[in-house]
């Protein structure tokens, strides 16, 4: 089985990339390719010379992947509760997870096929033969890993950062326990949903007896294939979402806004980042019967171009002071964009995905919306003040409701021979 697998993946590589042309030139497959026309051959040439064949994102590094990594097409997010009371179990769990995550992000199965047919296969198998698909697996710890019901569960209370507290209750929050909190989170992102699900499924399997899923949610964006121009993705209200996002390629910005620095709090988290997750249901039926003008005023942007109201291009700078002929601000003060911007001093790295979970059985409406995810260095200075403004007066609140909420400290990255969470647990 292992042999066949190797052989076939070599075969795929040989045929699907540059080598295909060589083979084609040699005659054998030439007929087949020829049938699809000359243009086909040319376009393959172009792709194979410019396209990066390697679609793996390294698991090891100073920071965990999946934060400043280019956003993949799919997300599988899981919040887990720890059931073991033994700290050594927890350490072992993170060691096992690190080894498994490292393999899976390389596109490798957890084990070659078993020699003993009387035990279940170690890898669940559905990603066999699939590429790594830019899989990233990001681990975080929630406040309840430290203290739950007043109990210092693993002797970690002294290490709990002041920033890692439950988020405050914001006005209009309609949070449900079934979509909130968690001791540990696993964010798996990949360009293939089956690859992302496989990752979380196997990690949860490894955790059996030590931790269980508390809640989970899939997420999606338009795929890269569907959007060759790589425009800003649109949310389920049809508007571009994420136009203003810090530049992940600028290390100085990331250090300023995303990565926890030495001295910010306990140093075990230096190189990590705080992750806010909000499951925001969007009343899409209500939105769909709202006039275009009202929709645009709600966001503060034009729907088609994504430009700030009064401007032409998506990336044009918004003019919050401009007035219309009636003396009203062109970008309403209670628009989502104006309130998010505030005085421009707070910034977060958004990495949200749309979600849809079929029908809401209570209403017959879609249960769809946004799994809002953002990363930051200090929630108290970034997400919390922004969300306070939004929750108080955002026009968008008529069309959305926050059903779930969680805050995690995403652990610093790790290197070969160490494990994720070592700085916290050792």
> Which chain residues interact with another protein by CB under 8 A?
83, 116-120, 205, 208-209, 212
Residue number with CB closer to another protein (29 or 204): 204
The DSSP 8-state label assigned to residue 167 in this structure reads: P
Residue number with CB closer to another protein (32 or 212): 212
CA angle 155/157/159 to nearest 5° reads 100
161 φ, ψ (degrees, to nearest 5): -70, 150
At closest approach, how far in Å is the CB of 100 from another protein? 15
At closest approach, how far in Å is the CB of 118 from another protein? 3
Question: How far is 255 from 253, CA to CA, in rounded Å?
Answer: 5
390 φ, ψ (degrees, to nearest 5): -65, -45
At closest approach, how far in Å is the CB of 212 from another protein? 5
371 φ, ψ (degrees, to nearest 5): -90, 90
At closest approach, how far in Å is the CB of 115 from another protein? 8
Question: How far is 301 from 373, CA to CA, in rounded Å?
Answer: 21
Question: How far is 314 from 301, CA to CA, in rounded Å?
Answer: 8
Residue number with CB closer to another protein (38 or 119): 119
Give me the helix-helix angle, 18-26 and 38-50, nearest 10°: 140
DSSP letter string over 53-80? ------S-SSS-SSSSSPPPSEEEEEEE
Q: How far is CA 114 from CA 100, 109, 117, 119, 120, in A?
A: 16, 12, 7, 8, 8
At closest approach, how far in Å is the CB of 120 from another protein? 5
Question: How far is 21 from 45, CA to CA, in rounded Å?
Answer: 8
Residue number with CB closer to another protein (168 or 209): 209
Residue number with CB closer to another protein (116 or 426): 116
Residue number with CB closer to another protein (116 or 293): 116
At closest approach, how far in Å is the CB of 119 from another protein? 4
* Number of residues that make up the chain: 426
At closest approach, how far in Å is the CB of 279 from another protein? 20
Residue number with CB closer to another protein (47 or 178): 178
């Amino acid at each position: 089985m292992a042999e066949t697998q190797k052989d076939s993946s070599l075969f795929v590589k040989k045929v699907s990339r540059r080598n295909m042309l060589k083979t084609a030139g040699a005659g054998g497959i030439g007929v087949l390719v020829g049938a699809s026309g000359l243009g086909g051959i040319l376009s393959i040439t172009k792709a194979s010379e410019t396209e990066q064949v390697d679609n793996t994102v390294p698991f090891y590094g100073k920071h965990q992947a999946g934060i400043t990594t280019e956003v993949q097409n799919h997300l599988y997010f899981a919040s887990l509760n720890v059931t073991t009371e033994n700290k050594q179990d927890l350490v072992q769990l993170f060691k096992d997870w690190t080894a498994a995550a490292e393999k899976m992000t390389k596109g490798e199965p957890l084990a070659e096929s078993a020699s003993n047919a009387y035990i279940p296969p170690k890898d669940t198998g559905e990603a066999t033969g699939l590429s790594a698909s830019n899989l990233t697996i990001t681990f975080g710890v929630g406040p309840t890993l430290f203290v739950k019901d007043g109990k210092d569960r693993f002797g970690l209370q002294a290490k709990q950062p002041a920033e890692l507290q439950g988020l405050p209750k914001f006005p209009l929050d309609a949070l449900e326990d079934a979509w909130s909190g968690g001791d540990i989170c696993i964010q798996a992102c990949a360009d293939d949903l089956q690859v992302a699900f496989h990752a979380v499924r196997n990690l949860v399997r490894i955790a059996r007896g030590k931790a269980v899923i508390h809640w989970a949610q899939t997420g999606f964006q338009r795929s890269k294939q569907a959007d060759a121009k790589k425009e800003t993705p649109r949310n389920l209200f049809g508007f571009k979402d994420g136009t203003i996002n810090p530049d992940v390629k600028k290390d100085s910005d990331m250090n300023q806004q995303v990565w926890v620095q030495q001295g910010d709090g306990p140093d075990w988290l230096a190189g990590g980042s705080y992750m806010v997750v909000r499951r925001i249901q969007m009343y899409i039926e209500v939105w769909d019967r709202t006039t275009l003008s009202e929709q645009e005023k709600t966001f503060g942007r034009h729907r088609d171009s994504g430009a700030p109201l009064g401007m032409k291009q998506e990336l044009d700078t918004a003019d919050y002071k401009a007035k219309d002929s009636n003396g009203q601000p062109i970008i309403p003060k209670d628009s989502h964009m104006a309130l998010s911007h505030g005085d421009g001093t707070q910034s977060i790295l958004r990495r949200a995905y749309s979600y849809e979970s079929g029908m809401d059985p209570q209403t017959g409406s879609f249960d769809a919306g946004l799994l809002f995810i953002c990363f930051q260095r200090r929630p108290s200075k970034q997400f919390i003040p922004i969300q306070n403004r939004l929750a108080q007066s955002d026009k968008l609140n008529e069309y959305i409701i926050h059903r779930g909420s969680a805050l995690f400290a995403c652990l610093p990255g790790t290197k070969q021979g160490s494990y994720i969470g070592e700085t916290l647990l050792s």
